[in-house]
Amino acid sequence: MSKKVMKVVQLVSMVLLVVGGLNWGLVGIQGVDVLGNLLGSMVSSVLYILVGVAALAVIIGSLLMKKKK
């Protein structure tokens, strides 16, 4: 992949991880699923899948960066 594509993937992954992490924090603290309430269960389920894919992308990216060093 080109560096430009990788930067976009990293940015989108980080945004998804932050949004997902904050939402899960609120679920743990207050028992409130903000994304589920705002987007509905079907859309929030898709978003949670994307958060999982983003986590995998960050893990794989980190491993690839370690191999380059």
Four-CA torsion 8, 13, 16, 20, nearest 10 degrees: -170
15 inside domain: no
Determine which of 5-9, 22-26, 35-39 has the lowest per-residue pLDDT on average: 5-9
Structural domain containing residue 61: 33-69
User: Do residues 56 and 8 touch, judged by C-beta distance below 8 A?
Assistant: no
User: Do residues 13 and 58 touch, judged by C-beta distance below 8 A?
Assistant: yes
7 inside domain: no
65 inside domain: yes
Q: Which helix (H) or strand (E) holds 56?
A: helix 41-68
23 inside domain: no
12 inside domain: no
- Indicate the residue type of 12: V
Q: What is the mean pLDDT of residues 3-31?
A: 91
At 62 the pLDDT is 85
Total number of domains in the chain: 1
pLDDT higher than threshold 90 for residue 26 = yes
User: Do residues 67 and 16 touch, judged by C-beta distance below 8 A?
Assistant: no
63 inside domain: yes
